[in-house]
C-alpha cells in the first residue's frame, strides 16, 4: 500500500472565497486538487493532494483527439452542526469504474478514490458553503494523456478531483421547466456509450440543446435512437412521469445513464408505498395520458437540480401542459426529502449519507 499513500503538497496561498449569494456553478475552484497517475505496467500511482493548478499536456495527448475521458459529479454538504456529508459517494466511484470499462480505461481502486475524496474535502473544508441550497460540487474525472496519435487505448491516464463551491440550483424556489421533445438528434443508442458518463455524450448533446434554447425551451427530452418513440432522458437528467397515480421511469436499457438520484427516488417512492415502475414508455403514451387528463406530474432527476419539475412538453407541434405548469406534490416531496437527507436535516433511514470524518487518517 506504500505506493497508495496520499502525499500532501499544500499551498499557504489561499484564494478569496466567493460570498454565498454570489455562488454560481462550476466557475470557481478551491485551493487544492487530487491527482493520481496511471502508467501501463506500473498501474495507478503517486496519489497526491496538490495546489489547484493548470495541467501541462502534450498537444498530442490522446484525450484531445480520441476522447477517452470519464467523469462523475457529486456534492458535499455542510450541516447546521458542522458535519460534512456526502450522498452515496461509493455509487459514483462504482459508476466511474463502469464508465472506465466501456471506455477501455484502467479500473480505479474505489476505496482509495473515496479516501482521496475525503482527504481533499477535509483539506478544503473552509470552502464548503453552508447557506440554504449551497454545496461543494465535486468533479472526479479521468483523462488519457499518452502523447500518441494512434487510435488505441492510451497507456497513460490522470485521475483528478476538483472542487467548486456552488450556489442553490433554485435561487427563487423549485420551479418547473419547459421541455422540447427532440426528434432529429439522438443522444445514444444501445451498443453505444449512453450508459457511460463520458465526454463524447455531452459533446453530441450540445446541438439539440442549442436548437431547444433558441425556441425558449430549457432542455430536450431524448427519445430512443432506433425508433424515436421511447423516452430515454431529459437534458442530462433521468426522467419520471406520474400517470393516474403510478410513477413511471424508463427502464435502464444500455443507453440510459444509471442516475444515483434516479435510484434514490425509486427507493424513496417504494419506501412511501407509492406504485413505481421501471419500464419502456413511449411519447405516444404520455400524449394519451395528457389527453385523458391522467398525466399528473413529470420531473427530471440529477445531482445538480436533485428534482427538476417539468411544466410543459412540446412534441410534434403539440404543447402539453403538466399540472397547470406548476410543481406537483410528488416532485416537491421528493425534493424536500432528498435535500433534507443530503444536508442532515432529516433522518437517513437508508444509510445514504456518508460523513467525512473530522480528522486526517493516520498514515
What 3-state class would DSSP assign to 89? helix
- Give the three cell numbers for residue 332: 416537491
Sign of CA dihedral 163, 168, 174, 175: negative
68 vs 339, beta carbon nearer a second copy: 68
CA 287 → CA 19, 43, 129, 229, 312, distances in Å? Answer: 45, 52, 42, 12, 12
d(CA 36, CA 6) in angstroms, rounded, equals 9
d(CA 307, CA 242) in angstroms, rounded, equals 14
Closest separation in Å from C-beta 275 to a second copy: 33
Closest separation in Å from C-beta 306 to a second copy: 16
Closest separation in Å from C-beta 118 to a second copy: 19
CA 65 → CA 13, 59, 60, 100, 148, distances in Å? Answer: 35, 9, 8, 18, 9
Tell me which residue of 224, 200, 15, 278 sits closest to 124, measured CA to CA. Answer: 15
Instruction: Quickly count: other Cβ atoms within 10 Å of residue 220's Cβ.
Output: 24
Tell me which residue of 81, 10, 13 sits closest to 50, measured CA to CA. Answer: 10
Closest separation in Å from C-beta 227 to a second copy: 8
Closest separation in Å from C-beta 38 to a second copy: 15
CA 139 → CA 161, 220, 236, 354, distances in Å? Answer: 6, 24, 15, 17
30 vs 337, beta carbon nearer a second copy: 30
Classify strands 7-8 and 177-182 as parallel, antiparallel or unpaired.
unpaired
Closest separation in Å from C-beta 169 to a second copy: 12
User: Would you call 3 exposed, middle or buried from its count of C-beta atoms within 10 A (0-12, 13-18, 19+)?
Assistant: exposed
55 vs 277, beta carbon nearer a second copy: 55
116 vs 243, beta carbon nearer a second copy: 116
28 vs 174, beta carbon nearer a second copy: 28
Closest separation in Å from C-beta 291 to a second copy: 27
C-beta of residue 237 within 8 angstroms of C-beta of residue 308: yes
Closest separation in Å from C-beta 243 to a second copy: 27
Residue numbers at the binding site for a second copy (CB under 8 A)? 25-27, 29, 33, 52-61, 63-69, 71, 102-104, 137, 139, 141, 143, 147-153, 160, 162, 164, 184-186, 188-193, 198-207, 209-210, 225-226, 228, 235-236
Closest separation in Å from C-beta 53 to a second copy: 8
137 vs 241, beta carbon nearer a second copy: 137
181 vs 295, beta carbon nearer a second copy: 181
65 vs 83, beta carbon nearer a second copy: 65
160 vs 326, beta carbon nearer a second copy: 160
DSSP single-letter state for residue 20: G
Amino acid at each position: 500500500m506504500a505506493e497508495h499513500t496520499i502525499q500532501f503538497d499544500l499551498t499557504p496561498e489561499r484564494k478569496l472565497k466567493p460570498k454565498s449569494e454570489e455562488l454560481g456553478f462550476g466557475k470557481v475552484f478551491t485551493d487544492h486538487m487530487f491527482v493520481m497517475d496511471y502508467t501501463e505496467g506500473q498501474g495507478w500511482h503517486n496519489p497526491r493532494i496538490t495546489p489547484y493548478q493548470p495541467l501541462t499536456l502534450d498537444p498530442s495527448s490522446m484525450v484531445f483527439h480520441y476522447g477517452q475521458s470519464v467523469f462523475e459529479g457529486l456534492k458535499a454538504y455542510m450541516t447546521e452542526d458542522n458535519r460534512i456529508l456526502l450522498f452515496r459517494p461509493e455509487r459514483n466511484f462504482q459508476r466511474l469504474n463502469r464508465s472506465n470499462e466501456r471506455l477501455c480505461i484502467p479500473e480505479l481502486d474505489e476505496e482509495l478514490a473515496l479516501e482521496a475524496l475525503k482527504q481533499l474535502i477535509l483539506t478544503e473544508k473552509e470552502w464548503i458553503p453552508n447557506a440554504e441550497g449551497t454545496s461543494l460540487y465535486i468533479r472526479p474525472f479521468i483523462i488519457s494523456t499518452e502523447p500518441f496519435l494512434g487510435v488505441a487505448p492510451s497507456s497513460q491516464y490522470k485521475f483528478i478531483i476538483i472542487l467548486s463551491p456552488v450556489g442553490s440550483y433554485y435561487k427563487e424556489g423549485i420551479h418547473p421547466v419547459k421541455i422540447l421533445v427532440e426528434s432529429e438528434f439522438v443522444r445514444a443508442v444501445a451498443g453505444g456509450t449512453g450508459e457511460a458518463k463520458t465526454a463524447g455524450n455531452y459533446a453530441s448533446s450540445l446541438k439539440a440543446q442549442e436548437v431547444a434554447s433558441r425556441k425558449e425551451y430549457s432542455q430536450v427530452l431524448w427519445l430512443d435512437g432506433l425508433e424515436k418513440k421511447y423516452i430515454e432522458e431529459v437534458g442530462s437528467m433521468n426522467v419520471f412521469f406520474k400517470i393516474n397515480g403510478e410513477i413511471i421511469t424508463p427502464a435502464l436499457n444500455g443507453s440510459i445513464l444509471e442516475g444515483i438520484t434516479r435510484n434514490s427516488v425509486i427507493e424513496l417512492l417504494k419506501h412511501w408505498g407509492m406504485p413505481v415502475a421501471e419500464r419502456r414508455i413511449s411519447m405516444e403514451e404520455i400524449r394519451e395520458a395528457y389527453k385523458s387528463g391522467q398525466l399528473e406530474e413529470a420531473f427530471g432527476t440529477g445531482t445538480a437540480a436533485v428534482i427538476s419539475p417539468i411544466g410543459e412538453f412540446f412534441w410534434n407541434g403539440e404543447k402539453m401542459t403538466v399540472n397547470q405548469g406548476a410543481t406537483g406534490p410528488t416532485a416537491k416531496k421528493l425534493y424536500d426529502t432528498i435535500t433534507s437527507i443530503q444536508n442532515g436535516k432529516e433522518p437517513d433511514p437508508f444509510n445514504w449519507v456518508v460523513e467525512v470524518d473530522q480528522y486526517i487518517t493516520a498514515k
